[in-house]
Amino acid sequence: MIFKTAGTLAMFSLCACEMTLPENAETSLSQERVPVRVSVSGTGTKVTDVGNEAAINNLQVFVFRSDGTLDAYSSYEGKELTLDCTVGQREFVAVANAGDLSKVTTRSQLQSARSKLEDNSVSGLVMTGSASKTLAESKNTVSISVSRLAARVSIRKITNGITIPGYASVPLVVKGIYLTNVAGDRPYVGSGTPSVWLNKLGNQGDFPLLLHSGTLSASVSKGNSYSTAHYFYCYPNTTSSDSSSSSWTPRYTRLVVEASLSGKTYYYPVSIPNIEANHTYDITELKITKLGSSSADQPVKTGSMTVTIQVKDWEKGSSTTVTI
């Protein structure tokens, strides 16, 4: 098996590969191997606004016995493959658009394996899914629904609503939009606490293609809006409470709008609590009415900020309007 890396997406060789282990369990079952055709399909993929967020570019399938040992493994570029399994009750786990996991030989090893956010790309988001089936001594087919490990955060409109004397006639210049305090890894299977954090405390240097808009220079006069949508991708962050400490501790992921007024830079952070996999968090409009914070990780101290985020499946999306 050959794996090549291009950008953030690990690509598979065009030839399928297959690995099986020596028979060392469930000796009471027939050891005859039967072909099993496995196909995968995405869940929550009806609403996509960027690239091909539902793309399944490559596939790895693991088949585990009831004792957790590996019965069969195969990989291929595409949405389906065929592999030989022994008969009996089997658990199938599919991993799409990920790096090489061919060294996994037990269910516990797969449960311990972690995906890095950098493994994702807009048209190659890492997905996983599983299914159980009792294989008979005949032709078998298995269908597996997979869902994205990442969440999507978007902002569609930034409105200049500043009425402060001396600033009302000054354009708001949007300089950049990015995510901070981002979970950088997670298990392929199940949930877990991040061991890697990116763009901590308002920094913005990690993985610009997923977490940063790039440098902007959008001048927005009073009453007008910057209406170019921006989309970002992060791993789940279920930190139970926020923090404003200048020393790093886990805290909420924030979408930050960096802007300038009269040449001075201000930050407008929007905190997004309890980010879940395969969910979208959509800020339909950020209306700026006051001067921002001096730090990308500190909430705006003056005025008020109202954030209402509905957690929904990526298929339906969510809608949020924020006024600062």
- Residue 97 belongs to a domain with what CATH number? 2.60.40.2580
Residue of 104, 80, 86 whose CA lies nearest to 188: 104
- Residue 158 belongs to a domain with what CATH number? 2.60.40.3690
> Percent of the chain, pLDDT > 90?
60
Work out the number of other CB atoms within 10 angstroms of the CB of residue 312. 16
**188 plus 76 within the same structural domain:** no
Query: What's the pLDDT at 319?
Result: 65
Q: Which amino acid is at 240?
A: S
**139 plus 224 within the same structural domain:** no
Is there a contact between 58 and 146 (Cβ–Cβ < 8 Å)? no
Query: What's the pLDDT at 12?
Result: 36
Is there a contact between 74 and 81 (Cβ–Cβ < 8 Å)? yes
**142 plus 209 within the same structural domain:** no
Across residues 21-35, what is the average pLDDT? 58
Q: Quick check: 221 pLDDT over 90?
A: yes
**33 plus 54 within the same structural domain:** yes
Pairing of strands 253-261, 264-272: antiparallel
pLDDT band for 315, please (50, 70, 90 cuts).
Answer: low
* Residue-range definition of the domain harbouring residue 201: 151-323
**169 plus 124 within the same structural domain:** no
Across residues 272-293, what is the average pLDDT? 91
Domain total for the chain? Answer: 2
Torsion-angle region of residue 74: left (phi > 0), alpha (psi -120 to 50) or beta? beta
**196 plus 288 within the same structural domain:** yes
Task: Select from 148, 171, 205 the last residue of a domain.
Answer: 148
Query: Residue for token digits 């969510």?
Result: 318
**115 plus 9 within the same structural domain:** yes
Average pLDDT, the chain: 84
Coil, strand or helix: which one is 103? coil
pLDDT band for 158, please (50, 70, 90 cuts).
Answer: very high
**44 plus 188 within the same structural domain:** no
Task: Select from 98, 113, 148 the last residue of a domain.
Answer: 148
**139 plus 159 within the same structural domain:** no
pLDDT tens-digit readout, 95-141: 999 999 999 999 999 999 999 999 999 889 999 999 999 998 888 89
**318 plus 176 within the same structural domain:** yes
CA distance to 44, 96, 116, per residue, from 54 (Å): 9, 11, 19
**143 plus 211 within the same structural domain:** no
Report d(CA 233, CA 231) in Å as an integer: 7
Q: Quick check: 262 pLDDT over 70?
A: yes
Task: Select from 84, 113, 148 the last residue of a domain.
Answer: 148
Tell me the pTM: 0.83
